[in-house]
Amino acid sequence: MTDILDRIEAAFADAGVTGWLHALDIDSGAQIDVRGDHTVTTASVHKLCCLVTLHAHAADGRLDLTERIECAPAERTVGPTGLAAMLDPVRMSLRDMAYLMMAVSDNAAADLLLGRVGLDAVNHTMTRLGLRHTHAVHTFGELLATIRQDAGPGGAQALADPQVVSRLRALDPTRTNHSTPRDMTRLLKALWRDEACTPEHGAAIRRLLGLQVWPHRMASGFPFDDVHVAGKTGSLPTVRNEVGVVEYPDGGRYAVAVFTRSAGTAVNLPAADAVIGTAARLAVDALRLTAGPT
């Protein structure tokens, strides 16, 4: 086990990041832990918590997922994808907004859904599921507002300056949405075992996680047609995260949470993205070797 931990740490170091990882065999309970109880900034990974809460409310009859919401351009949280990037008024169901929130990490869709269920409800749902270290402090629009405020008059270009990045509240887990890698694998395990929601809603959540379009992080470590990766990414300046479940054709299924901070402030750091897949693959291979044939 020490060898695999050393290899994961070496992969993080080679990519120029500090990493935190927890990987869990959903059925056997075997695990790989690289500072898995460290509190981390979740960024858009927290959209998974919103999704679970949305479906918990639907299961309880507190909302109908086919309910439609109007969204005018002036009312949208900014972002590069989905509703956030659209120019015209949109009327869409809650479940289709949830698709955009998860598949392309749409900030506007996420905040519309948060407005429907409430931050307090998200936190209550996480507490109910035993995720004691997972907490939402603000909406995604509020999170982005702190970055604009902290960056100052230099705007987005100032985020290339390490001194500016060091003062961002959005990167301080004590002042922003946060969790731990272990909490996230616990949530994924509950979703894959239908312990977080009813089977109908658990299946709907798993479907949406499987529709994420980004292949450059966790999925890059499993380039096989018969291995399925379902996950949710999260990104902020110097932060690259992903949590997900890797499923093999022999029935093996593994929850993995990888959170990273890069030393460099560049927006494009392919090695920092790819190491999420590398670390996840190393952890899952070790879990499969421990379990033996299934």
Band of pLDDT at residue 294, cut at 50, 70 and 90 = very low
Identify the pLDDT of residue 280. Answer: 98
Question: Within 13 Å, how many C-alpha atoms sit on residue 93's CB side?
Answer: 9
* DSSP character string of 93-122: EHHHHHHHHHHS--HHHHHHHHHHH-HHHH
Per-residue pLDDT reduced to its tens digit, 197-255: 999 999 999 999 999 999 999 999 999 999 999 999 999 999 999 999 999 999 999 99
Burial level of 85, CB count in 10 A (0-12/13-18/19+)?
middle
The two three-digit tokens of residue 99, written as one number: 């698709």
CATH number of the 2-291 domain:
3.40.710.10
3-state secondary structure of 200: helix
Cα–Cα distance, 44 to 232 (Å, whole number): 8
Query: pLDDT band at residue 291, thresholds of 50, 70 and 90?
Result: confident
Contact 97, 68 (CB under 8 A): no
The mean predicted confidence, pLDDT, of the chain is 96
> Mean pLDDT across the stretch 32-39?
98
